[in-house]
Amino acid sequence: MDNRTGRNEYDRHWKRVIHSLFEDFVAFFSPGLYEMIDWDKPPDDLDKEFQRLNPDGKSRDREADGLFKVYLKNGSEQWILVHIEVQGWKDTGFAERMFQYFYRIFDAYDKKIFALVIYTEDYSETYTPPRYEYNFFGTKLNYEYNVYKIAEQDENELLQSTNPFAFVILATKKALYGKTAAQPTKLELKKQLLRVLAVMKDRLQLDKKDLLTLFIFMDHMIKLESQYQQEFNQEIKNWEGGTMITYEDELKQEARKEGREEGREEGKREGRQEEKIEITRNLIKLGIPLDFIKKATGKEQISKSTIPCKLKIKTQSHKQWFEAMKMIKQ
């Protein structure tokens, strides 16, 4: 599994758990906002609208980004921007992109926005303040957003929480701790989380849907090699002396669903790659400098000799040029 595929899979699990437990999610991160929302009116997921607003398409592969519309008790609407940041390196342009998200949503909808970034990695060495500042000869701007750093959360507080989403944070924190650990250690971490979930099930009276959502998220956060996963699966069967429901059928369905989704994503990536190759050929036909083509398409390895056909460089119409540029930006 390459880094992009792994990142997309990681993002998908975050997106699913946020969607499935959205009410708990809002209550966990913003209790004040939660009290203002009319939960009798289901929130609207504006994922497609959000993708069209992404700054320069830079988050096209970031599946955990999300935009939701909720209704307040006073009858007005509130927009919630949820951004999951999973990069493990310093990104000096991130605050600027967060500002771009903000002003594009605000410009498109003219609604109030609650913006949140959840850092799922340890950013203690590369962390930058959650703000974007602009100052040019007296023209000033300061944009700040909410930040939550999982690595800094207290496990005891998470264990005592009455909000199911605390388990999501705990599972991510345990996964962060076990990221470089040996397989036996990872197995023990998963067993610990299973015991926590068993207690939470009874204490919070979780229904099957929420329990399964939390279990699947935890199961994917800490990956085990086959022999250790089999031992963990046996632990599930022994859960509460066998009286607890088993998740075998649900997990099989989830695996099939993920396989279909990953297949579709791989197909999309291959399609985009072939499209870029075709665009590259067309731009070379137009006589566009290779350095510009590399920058426009994101392809570093380009030379006329690598194009698998003989191309005669000639001047084309401005219409063809603009059509080619439009294809690149799609």
At residue 245, the pLDDT reads 46
Q: What is the pLDDT of residue 50?
A: 79
Give the tokens for residue 139.
């023209």
What tokens appear for 188 in the block?
């023990």
pLDDT at 242: 45
Per-residue pLDDT for 301 more than 60?
Answer: no
In the predicted structure, residue 142 carries a pLDDT above the cut 80: yes
pTM comes to: 0.71
Please report the pLDDT score of residue 200 as a whole number: 92
Of 75-89, 105-119, 132-146, highest mean pLDDT = 132-146
Quick: pLDDT tens for 49-90. 877 777 555 544 555 578 898 988 888 888 887 766 655 456
Q: Given this model, what pLDDT does residue 173 score? A: 94
What is the per-residue pLDDT across 178-208, written as a single tens digit (0 to 9) for each? Answer: 888 999 999 999 999 999 998 999 899 988 8
Question: Average pLDDT in the 132-160 region?
Answer: 94
pLDDT of residue 251: 54
Tokens of 31: 């209790």
103 or 311, greater pLDDT: 103
Whole-number Å distance between alpha carbons of 220 and 210: 16
Predicted confidence at residue 11, as pLDDT, reads 80
Q: Report the DSSP pairing between strands 146-149 and 77-85.
A: unpaired
Give the containing element (helix H, strand E) for 237.
helix 226-237
| pLDDT on residue 67 | 86
**Encoded tokens for 290:** 């290779």
Cβ atoms < 10 Å from Cβ of 261: 14
Per-residue confidence at 311, pLDDT binned at 50, 70, 90? very low
The per-residue DSSP string of 120-148 comes to -S--TTT---SEEEEEETTEEEEEE-EEE
- Structure tokens that stand for 35 in this block: 């009290």
pLDDT per residue as tens digits for the range 34-53: 999 999 999 988 888 877 77
Q: Mind listing the pLDDT tens digit for each residue in 238-292?
A: 765 443 444 555 555 655 565 565 556 555 555 556 666 666 666 666 666 666 6
Residue whose C-alpha is closest to residue 104's, from 159, 77, 138, 143:
143
Residue 26 φ/ψ region, left for φ over 0, alpha for ψ in the -120 to 50 degree band, beta for the rest: alpha
Buried b (16+ CB within 10 A) or exposed e, 202-231: eebebeeebbbbbbbbbbbbbbbeeebbee
For all residues of the chain together, what is the average pLDDT?
76
Percent of the chain with pLDDT over 90: 30
Query: Which residue would you say has higher pLDDT here, 83 or 163?
Result: 163
DSSP 89: S
Quote the DSSP letter at residue 81.
E
- Half-sphere exposure (Cβ direction) of 210: Cα atoms closer than 13 Å: 20
* Confidence at residue 291, expressed as pLDDT on a 0 to 100 scale: 62
Residue 315 confidence (pLDDT): 41
Query: What is the helix (H) or strand (E) element at residue 192, kind and residue range?
Result: helix 183-204
Burial of 147 (0-12, 13-18, 19+ CB in 10 A): middle
Distance set, CA 263 to CA 13, 260, 327 (Å): 16, 5, 24
Listing from the earlier edge strand, what are the strands of the sheet with 146-149?
A: 44-45, 66-71, 77-85, 113-119, 146-149
Amino acid of residue 301: Q
